[in-house]
Amino acid sequence: MSIVDTPERRQLRELTRAFVTREVLPHLDDWERAGEVPRALHATAAKIGLLGIGFPESVGGSGGELLDSIIVTEELIRSGGSSGLVAALFTHGIALPHMVAAAGAHTGGSLGGRLGGTASPGEDGLIERYVRPTLAGTMIGALAITEPDGGSDVAGIRTTARRDGDHYVVNGSKTYITSGHRADFVTTAVCTDFPGSGELTLLVIDKGLPGFTVGRRLEKLGWHCSDTAELSFVDVRVPVTNRIGAEDTGFLAIMQNFAAERLSLATQAYATAQRCVELAVRWCRDRETFGRPLASRQLIRHRLAEMHTRAEAARSYVHEVANRVAAGEPVVTEVAMAKNVAVAACDHVVDQALQLHGGFGYLRDAEVERHYRDARILGIGGGTTEIMNEIIAKGIGL
């Protein structure tokens, strides 16, 4: 029996599929046009246990391993959802793991338990004030790392946090922040030395604090149902108890959690490819040209066969790498390769799928059109394809 096809994981797939069918599909087009998903969706997902997959029960999660989180993401997209929906509904997957890890709790889904460390006096408070409510669907969290002039250069972060008694005074700005408009709090990377020093610390900053401004909603090519914002901090006073882990340990924490984020994006990529294969096969069976179904033509059959092969190969490799990550193996290079392989497969498949749909594929009414737009971010988020290639090159000794 395949490790991804156990009775428990089949049930998890069925649960996810039922959730998408009942709670998502009737409303997704409206959410795309509104630019966000409703807060109530988080509570619904939490109630049935989906929101907490990959987080330990000790912090309010549903338990499960990294592969369980991957299965939920995969099935959500293959059931008719989208990678944009994953970004909006599961933003806590990048906002919470650092807190869970610092508190010393084991989490199979987000790698947090493997980050090590001893809980500081404020860590248990962070679990109670932020982690549990978020996994219960009553709060929304975001992660703020990227800055307007920073891109992938995490070590070059210029947002500063100056210690002033029992508070940090934060100044700076962040951009491209997923769920930034809806978030109640933001796990924020700040520099506790001079700007760009690389001495990073993670602070949890509550929305509504004086000096914390959420800027305009950023309009994007894809991921329309996932709100994205710019954030500004001007002399924002953040309690020291909102620090995650020890001071100047933020860079390591960010780097260690990148593996889970990159595998999530790889999953979104191959799952989008799989869904587009299914859509294209269905269309080519039903669509007739010159009195014959498209699928009756050898050229079309071979194109579909190639699309299916690429999607399935990417899925198998991502699963293999995820198992090695879950086992604690140091597979930084392999994670980068998994992301690039899955993104390349997705780019090819969504392009071919839209082409096979013809003029209909170019319309907003076509599901494949949404996947075509959404797929473009997957080679950028979590580290660009070019950054992944630099990691791979280093891994092979170049």
Q: What is the pLDDT of residues 278-313, one digit of tens each?
A: 999 999 999 999 999 999 999 999 999 999 999 999
Q: Considering the entire predicted model, what is its pTM?
A: 0.93
Is the pLDDT confidence value at 10 over 90?
A: yes
Is the pLDDT confidence value at 233 over 60?
A: yes
Active site residue 261: yes
C-alpha span between 245 and 281 (Å, rounded): 50
- In CATH terms, the superfamily for domain 252-396 is Butyryl-CoA Dehydrogenase, subunit A, domain 3 (1.20.140.10)
Active-site residue, selected from the candidate residues 65, 74, 147, 261:
261
Per-residue confidence at 104, pLDDT binned at 50, 70, 90?
Answer: confident
Question: What would the two tokens of residue 282 be?
Answer: 């269905």
Please indicate whether the domains covering 141-247 and 252-396 agree at the CATH topology level. Answer: no
Domain regions of the chain by residue span:
141-247, 252-396
User: How much of the chain is helix, strand and coil, in % rounded to 5?
Assistant: 55, 15, 30
Question: What would the mean pLDDT of 86-90 be, rounded to a whole number?
Answer: 98
- Which one-letter DSSP state was computed for residue 204? E
Question: What would the two tokens of residue 293 be?
Answer: 């179904």
| Lowest mean pLDDT segment, chosen from 105-114, 197-206, 280-289, 381-390 | 105-114
Q: Which amino acid is at 29?
A: D
Give the three-state DSSP class for 115: coil
Q: Which helix (H) or strand (E) holds 203?
A: strand 200-206
- Domain 141-247, CATH number (from 2.40.50.140, 1.20.1260.10, 3.40.50.300, 2.40.110.10): 2.40.110.10
